[in-house]
Amino acid sequence: MKKFIIAMTALGLLGGAVAHAKTNPAQDLKEFRAYFFKKFPGVPLQEYANGIYGVNESRRVEWEATMEFPPFEPGVDAGQDLYNKYSKHFRKCFGNSAGKGIRQNYPYFDSKSGDIVTLEGAINDCLKKNGEKPLGWKKGKLAALVAYMASTSNGKAININVPNDKRALAWYERGKHHFYSKRGQLNLSCANCHVDSAGGQIRANILSPALGHVSHFPVYRKKWEARGSGVTGGFGTLHRRYGGCNKQVRAKPFKAQSDEYKALEYFHTYMSNGIKVNAPGVRQ
Ligand code: HEC
Protein backbone atom coordinates (compact mmCIF):
# COMPACT_ATOMS: atom_id res chain seq x y z
CA MET A 1 0.00 0.00 0.00
CA LYS A 2 2.78 2.36 0.96
CA LYS A 3 4.55 1.71 -2.34
CA PHE A 4 1.32 2.33 -4.20
CA ILE A 5 0.83 5.70 -2.49
CA ILE A 6 4.40 6.71 -3.21
CA ALA A 7 3.93 5.80 -6.87
CA MET A 8 0.65 7.73 -7.08
CA THR A 9 2.21 10.75 -5.41
CA ALA A 10 5.13 10.66 -7.80
CA LEU A 11 2.61 10.74 -10.63
CA GLY A 12 0.93 13.67 -8.97
CA LEU A 13 -2.34 11.75 -8.78
CA LEU A 14 -2.89 12.00 -5.05
CA GLY A 15 -1.48 15.48 -4.79
CA GLY A 16 -3.41 17.36 -2.16
CA ALA A 17 -4.75 14.23 -0.51
CA VAL A 18 -1.34 13.18 0.73
CA ALA A 19 0.44 16.47 1.02
CA HIS A 20 -2.36 18.27 2.88
CA ALA A 21 -1.40 21.04 5.22
CA LYS A 22 -0.37 20.22 8.74
CA THR A 23 -3.21 20.17 11.24
CA ASN A 24 -3.40 23.61 12.80
CA PRO A 25 -6.43 24.00 15.07
CA ALA A 26 -5.53 27.55 16.17
CA GLN A 27 -5.37 28.69 12.56
CA ASP A 28 -8.66 26.91 11.74
CA LEU A 29 -10.35 28.67 14.64
CA LYS A 30 -9.08 32.05 13.54
CA GLU A 31 -10.40 31.57 10.03
CA PHE A 32 -13.70 30.09 11.23
CA ARG A 33 -14.43 33.11 13.41
CA ALA A 34 -13.26 35.59 10.81
CA TYR A 35 -15.68 34.07 8.30
CA PHE A 36 -18.68 34.66 10.58
CA PHE A 37 -17.55 38.10 11.70
CA LYS A 38 -17.46 39.10 8.06
CA LYS A 39 -20.79 37.48 7.28
CA PHE A 40 -22.59 39.06 10.25
CA PRO A 41 -20.89 42.39 10.83
CA GLY A 42 -21.46 43.85 14.28
CA VAL A 43 -22.58 40.58 15.91
CA PRO A 44 -20.32 40.15 18.96
CA LEU A 45 -18.72 36.77 19.68
CA GLN A 46 -20.93 35.97 22.67
CA GLU A 47 -24.13 36.44 20.63
CA TYR A 48 -23.25 33.27 18.71
CA ALA A 49 -24.16 31.38 21.85
CA ASN A 50 -27.76 32.18 20.97
CA GLY A 51 -27.98 30.38 17.65
CA ILE A 52 -30.42 31.86 15.17
CA TYR A 53 -31.58 34.38 17.77
CA GLY A 54 -28.18 36.03 17.65
CA VAL A 55 -28.47 36.73 13.94
CA ASN A 56 -32.19 37.03 13.20
CA GLU A 57 -34.12 39.90 14.76
CA SER A 58 -37.69 38.67 14.38
CA ARG A 59 -36.94 35.21 15.77
CA ARG A 60 -35.08 36.90 18.59
CA VAL A 61 -38.20 38.74 19.69
CA GLU A 62 -40.16 35.46 19.96
CA TRP A 63 -37.29 33.86 21.86
CA GLU A 64 -36.99 36.71 24.34
CA ALA A 65 -40.68 36.28 25.13
CA THR A 66 -40.13 32.53 25.70
CA MET A 67 -37.19 33.24 27.98
CA GLU A 68 -39.35 35.28 30.35
CA PHE A 69 -40.67 31.96 31.67
CA PRO A 70 -38.13 29.44 30.44
CA PRO A 71 -39.91 26.14 29.77
CA PHE A 72 -36.84 24.15 30.82
CA GLU A 73 -36.85 25.25 34.47
CA PRO A 74 -38.78 22.31 35.95
CA GLY A 75 -36.48 19.99 33.98
CA VAL A 76 -33.36 21.67 35.34
CA ASP A 77 -34.77 21.26 38.85
CA ALA A 78 -35.26 17.56 38.16
CA GLY A 79 -31.65 17.49 36.93
CA GLN A 80 -30.54 19.07 40.19
CA ASP A 81 -32.39 16.40 42.18
CA LEU A 82 -30.54 13.73 40.20
CA TYR A 83 -27.30 15.58 40.80
CA ASN A 84 -27.93 15.57 44.54
CA LYS A 85 -28.71 11.87 44.42
CA TYR A 86 -25.36 11.12 42.76
CA SER A 87 -23.20 13.88 44.21
CA LYS A 88 -21.31 11.55 46.56
CA HIS A 89 -20.15 9.58 43.51
CA PHE A 90 -19.31 12.75 41.61
CA ARG A 91 -17.12 13.90 44.46
CA LYS A 92 -15.08 10.75 43.99
CA CYS A 93 -14.90 10.98 40.20
CA PHE A 94 -14.56 14.71 39.62
CA GLY A 95 -12.61 15.72 42.71
CA ASN A 96 -13.30 18.99 44.46
CA SER A 97 -15.63 20.35 41.82
CA ALA A 98 -17.92 17.31 42.24
CA GLY A 99 -18.78 17.96 38.59
CA LYS A 100 -19.88 21.57 39.00
CA GLY A 101 -18.47 24.33 36.85
CA ILE A 102 -16.61 21.97 34.51
CA ARG A 103 -18.74 22.01 31.36
CA GLN A 104 -16.41 24.43 29.53
CA ASN A 105 -13.55 21.91 29.60
CA TYR A 106 -15.45 19.08 27.90
CA PRO A 107 -14.85 17.18 25.71
CA TYR A 108 -11.16 16.69 26.36
CA PHE A 109 -8.43 14.41 25.08
CA ASP A 110 -7.29 11.95 27.73
CA SER A 111 -3.63 11.21 27.09
CA LYS A 112 -3.69 8.05 29.23
CA SER A 113 -6.41 6.25 27.30
CA GLY A 114 -6.01 8.18 24.02
CA ASP A 115 -9.78 8.69 24.11
CA ILE A 116 -12.03 11.73 23.91
CA VAL A 117 -13.99 12.17 27.12
CA THR A 118 -17.36 13.87 26.84
CA LEU A 119 -19.20 15.10 29.92
CA GLU A 120 -21.98 12.56 29.33
CA GLY A 121 -19.34 9.84 29.00
CA ALA A 122 -17.60 10.87 32.21
CA ILE A 123 -20.89 10.89 34.11
CA ASN A 124 -22.00 7.46 32.99
CA ASP A 125 -18.54 6.11 33.60
CA CYS A 126 -18.68 7.44 37.14
CA LEU A 127 -22.12 5.98 37.75
CA LYS A 128 -21.00 2.55 36.55
CA LYS A 129 -17.86 2.60 38.66
CA ASN A 130 -20.02 3.31 41.69
CA GLY A 131 -22.49 0.52 41.12
CA GLU A 132 -25.24 2.64 39.55
CA LYS A 133 -27.02 1.97 36.30
CA PRO A 134 -25.79 4.21 33.46
CA LEU A 135 -28.41 6.58 32.02
CA GLY A 136 -29.65 6.64 28.41
CA TRP A 137 -27.41 8.87 26.26
CA LYS A 138 -29.62 11.27 24.36
CA LYS A 139 -32.51 12.55 26.44
CA GLY A 140 -34.53 12.28 29.62
CA LYS A 141 -32.63 11.88 32.87
CA LEU A 142 -29.06 12.20 31.58
CA ALA A 143 -29.93 15.24 29.50
CA ALA A 144 -31.63 16.89 32.50
CA LEU A 145 -28.68 16.07 34.76
CA VAL A 146 -26.22 17.53 32.25
CA ALA A 147 -28.48 20.56 31.77
CA TYR A 148 -28.20 21.26 35.49
CA MET A 149 -24.46 20.56 35.65
CA ALA A 150 -23.79 22.67 32.54
CA SER A 151 -25.81 25.52 34.04
CA THR A 152 -23.29 25.65 36.91
CA SER A 153 -20.71 26.62 34.26
CA ASN A 154 -22.73 29.49 32.84
CA GLY A 155 -20.52 32.47 32.17
CA LYS A 156 -17.34 30.40 31.87
CA ALA A 157 -15.65 30.49 28.47
CA ILE A 158 -15.39 27.25 26.49
CA ASN A 159 -11.79 26.16 26.72
CA ILE A 160 -11.00 23.07 24.65
CA ASN A 161 -7.40 22.09 24.28
CA VAL A 162 -6.03 20.13 21.32
CA PRO A 163 -2.58 19.14 22.55
CA ASN A 164 0.25 18.53 20.17
CA ASP A 165 -0.19 14.77 20.35
CA LYS A 166 -0.72 12.70 17.22
CA ARG A 167 -3.74 10.96 18.70
CA ALA A 168 -5.47 14.20 19.75
CA LEU A 169 -4.80 15.73 16.35
CA ALA A 170 -6.25 12.63 14.69
CA TRP A 171 -9.49 12.99 16.71
CA TYR A 172 -9.65 16.64 15.73
CA GLU A 173 -9.09 15.85 12.04
CA ARG A 174 -11.74 13.15 12.13
CA GLY A 175 -14.29 15.58 13.54
CA LYS A 176 -13.32 18.26 11.07
CA HIS A 177 -13.66 15.76 8.27
CA HIS A 178 -17.16 14.84 9.41
CA PHE A 179 -18.12 18.49 9.57
CA TYR A 180 -17.00 19.29 6.03
CA SER A 181 -17.99 16.03 4.30
CA LYS A 182 -21.09 15.88 2.17
CA ARG A 183 -23.39 13.06 3.19
CA GLY A 184 -26.81 11.51 2.76
CA GLN A 185 -29.15 11.56 -0.20
CA LEU A 186 -29.15 15.35 -0.13
CA ASN A 187 -25.36 15.32 -0.31
CA LEU A 188 -24.90 18.18 2.15
CA SER A 189 -22.25 18.74 4.80
CA CYS A 190 -22.74 20.38 8.19
CA ALA A 191 -20.76 23.29 6.78
CA ASN A 192 -23.05 23.68 3.77
CA CYS A 193 -25.95 24.49 6.09
CA HIS A 194 -24.28 26.00 9.16
CA VAL A 195 -21.40 27.91 7.53
CA ASP A 196 -22.16 28.62 3.86
CA SER A 197 -25.91 29.12 4.40
CA ALA A 198 -25.90 30.36 8.02
CA GLY A 199 -28.55 33.03 8.49
CA GLY A 200 -30.37 31.77 5.41
CA GLN A 201 -33.64 29.90 5.35
CA ILE A 202 -34.47 26.28 4.72
CA ARG A 203 -38.21 25.53 4.66
CA ALA A 204 -39.53 27.33 7.75
CA ASN A 205 -36.15 27.29 9.50
CA ILE A 206 -33.43 29.87 9.75
CA LEU A 207 -30.01 28.21 9.77
CA SER A 208 -27.80 28.89 12.77
CA PRO A 209 -24.10 29.68 12.49
CA ALA A 210 -21.88 26.78 13.58
CA LEU A 211 -19.87 29.21 15.66
CA GLY A 212 -21.27 28.95 19.20
CA HIS A 213 -23.33 25.88 18.34
CA VAL A 214 -22.41 23.90 21.41
CA SER A 215 -22.51 26.52 24.18
CA HIS A 216 -26.04 25.85 25.38
CA PHE A 217 -26.45 22.08 25.24
CA PRO A 218 -28.41 20.13 26.34
CA VAL A 219 -31.20 22.03 24.63
CA TYR A 220 -34.90 22.13 25.41
CA ARG A 221 -37.19 21.92 22.40
CA LYS A 222 -40.96 22.05 22.02
CA LYS A 223 -40.69 19.37 19.38
CA TRP A 224 -38.90 17.03 21.77
CA GLU A 225 -41.26 17.95 24.60
CA ALA A 226 -44.20 16.76 22.51
CA ARG A 227 -42.51 13.38 21.99
CA GLY A 228 -41.08 12.95 25.47
CA SER A 229 -42.72 12.59 28.83
CA GLY A 230 -42.47 14.39 32.14
CA VAL A 231 -40.52 17.57 32.87
CA THR A 232 -37.29 16.20 31.37
CA GLY A 233 -38.96 15.15 28.12
CA GLY A 234 -38.00 18.26 26.18
CA PHE A 235 -34.25 17.90 26.64
CA GLY A 236 -31.80 16.52 24.12
CA THR A 237 -28.03 16.27 24.16
CA LEU A 238 -25.70 17.49 21.44
CA HIS A 239 -25.44 13.98 20.03
CA ARG A 240 -29.21 13.80 19.77
CA ARG A 241 -29.06 16.92 17.64
CA TYR A 242 -26.24 15.49 15.54
CA GLY A 243 -28.41 12.48 14.81
CA GLY A 244 -31.31 14.73 13.81
CA CYS A 245 -29.12 16.78 11.49
CA ASN A 246 -27.67 13.64 9.88
CA LYS A 247 -31.22 12.40 9.33
CA GLN A 248 -32.29 15.69 7.76
CA VAL A 249 -30.00 15.00 4.84
CA ARG A 250 -31.20 11.35 4.81
CA ALA A 251 -27.91 10.01 6.06
CA LYS A 252 -27.84 7.21 8.60
CA PRO A 253 -27.08 8.78 11.98
CA PHE A 254 -24.24 7.44 14.11
CA LYS A 255 -24.86 6.27 17.65
CA ALA A 256 -24.74 8.83 20.45
CA GLN A 257 -21.27 8.69 22.05
CA SER A 258 -19.86 6.80 19.06
CA ASP A 259 -16.27 7.68 18.18
CA GLU A 260 -17.57 9.53 15.14
CA TYR A 261 -19.74 11.91 17.19
CA LYS A 262 -17.12 12.28 19.91
CA ALA A 263 -14.66 13.40 17.24
CA LEU A 264 -17.24 15.77 15.79
CA GLU A 265 -17.99 17.21 19.23
CA TYR A 266 -14.27 17.72 19.84
CA PHE A 267 -13.77 19.71 16.64
CA HIS A 268 -17.12 21.51 16.89
CA THR A 269 -16.55 22.57 20.51
CA TYR A 270 -13.00 23.69 19.85
CA MET A 271 -14.42 26.03 17.19
CA SER A 272 -16.50 27.71 19.92
CA ASN A 273 -13.56 28.34 22.25
CA GLY A 274 -13.89 31.65 24.05
CA ILE A 275 -17.70 31.68 23.96
CA LYS A 276 -19.31 31.48 27.38
CA VAL A 277 -21.50 28.56 28.36
CA ASN A 278 -25.21 29.47 28.54
CA ALA A 279 -27.00 26.23 29.23
CA PRO A 280 -29.56 24.98 28.81
CA GLY A 281 -30.80 26.68 25.68
CA VAL A 282 -34.31 26.69 24.32
CA ARG A 283 -34.90 26.11 20.63
CA GLN A 284 -37.86 25.48 18.36
C1 HEC B 1 -29.91 20.60 5.42
C2 HEC B 1 -29.28 21.55 6.32
C3 HEC B 1 -28.61 21.01 7.56
C4 HEC B 1 -27.50 20.22 7.63
C5 HEC B 1 -26.73 19.58 6.47
C6 HEC B 1 -27.15 20.13 9.01
N7 HEC B 1 -28.02 20.82 9.78
FE8 HEC B 1 -27.84 21.23 11.74
N9 HEC B 1 -29.63 22.21 11.70
C10 HEC B 1 -30.39 22.43 10.58
C11 HEC B 1 -31.59 23.13 10.95
C12 HEC B 1 -32.70 23.57 10.00
C13 HEC B 1 -31.52 23.36 12.34
C14 HEC B 1 -32.53 24.10 13.23
C15 HEC B 1 -32.30 25.60 13.09
C16 HEC B 1 -30.96 25.98 13.59
O17 HEC B 1 -30.80 26.17 14.80
O18 HEC B 1 -30.01 26.05 12.76
C19 HEC B 1 -30.26 22.78 12.78
C20 HEC B 1 -29.78 22.84 14.08
C21 HEC B 1 -28.53 22.42 14.48
C22 HEC B 1 -27.98 22.59 15.79
C23 HEC B 1 -28.66 23.29 16.96
C24 HEC B 1 -28.31 24.77 16.96
C25 HEC B 1 -28.69 25.45 18.24
O26 HEC B 1 -28.60 26.69 18.29
O27 HEC B 1 -29.03 24.81 19.23
C28 HEC B 1 -26.75 22.02 15.80
C29 HEC B 1 -25.79 21.94 16.96
C30 HEC B 1 -26.54 21.47 14.47
N31 HEC B 1 -27.62 21.73 13.69
C32 HEC B 1 -25.39 20.80 14.08
C33 HEC B 1 -25.22 20.22 12.83
C34 HEC B 1 -24.10 19.38 12.49
C35 HEC B 1 -22.93 19.08 13.39
C36 HEC B 1 -24.32 18.95 11.22
C37 HEC B 1 -23.50 17.96 10.42
C38 HEC B 1 -23.50 16.62 10.97
C39 HEC B 1 -25.55 19.57 10.76
N40 HEC B 1 -26.08 20.31 11.78
C41 HEC B 1 -26.06 19.43 9.50
C42 HEC B 1 -30.06 22.09 9.29
C43 HEC B 1 -28.94 21.36 8.92
What is the average pLDDT across 224-251?
Answer: 94
What is the average pLDDT across 48-77?
Answer: 94
Of 16-25, 111-120, 192-201, 243-252, give the lowest mean pLDDT range.
16-25
Burial classification of residue 145, based on how many CB atoms lie within 10 Å of its CB (0-12 exposed, 13-18 middle, 19 or more buried):
buried
Cα distance between residue 244 and residue 249, in whole Å? 9
HSE-CB at 136 with a 13 A cutoff on CA atoms is: 10
Q: Residue 284 to residues 46, 141, 208, 228, 280: CA-CA distances in angstroms? A: 20, 21, 12, 15, 13
Peptide bond into 107 cis (omega under 30): yes
pLDDT of residue 79: 98
Higher-scoring residue by pLDDT: 174, 11: 174
The alpha carbon of 18 and the centre of ligand 1 are apart by a number of angstroms equal to: 31
Residue 237 has pLDDT above 60, yes or no: yes
pLDDT of residue 20: 54
Cα distance between residue 229 and residue 78, in whole Å? 13
Note whether 158 and 276 are within 8 A (CB). yes
Q: Determine if ligand 1 sits within 6 Å of the CB of residue 190.
A: yes
Nearest to 208 by CA among 173, 217, 65: 217
pLDDT of residue 141: 96
Note whether 120 and 217 are within 8 A (CB). no
Note whether 279 and 147 are within 8 A (CB). yes
pLDDT band per the 50, 70, 90 thresholds, residue 228: confident
Q: Determine if ligand 1 sits within 6 Å of the CB of residue 245.
A: yes
Task: Report the nearest-CA residue for atom 2 of ligand 1.
Answer: 193
pLDDT band per the 50, 70, 90 thresholds, residue 22: confident
What is the average pLDDT across 219-224?
Answer: 94
pLDDT of residue 226: 87
pLDDT of residue 233: 92
pLDDT tens, position by position, 199-220: 999 988 999 999 999 999 999 9
Ligand 1 atom with the smallest distance to the CA of 214 is 29
The alpha carbon of 208 and the centre of ligand 1 are apart by a number of angstroms equal to: 7
Residue 278 has pLDDT above 80, yes or no: yes
Note whether 151 and 217 are within 8 A (CB). no
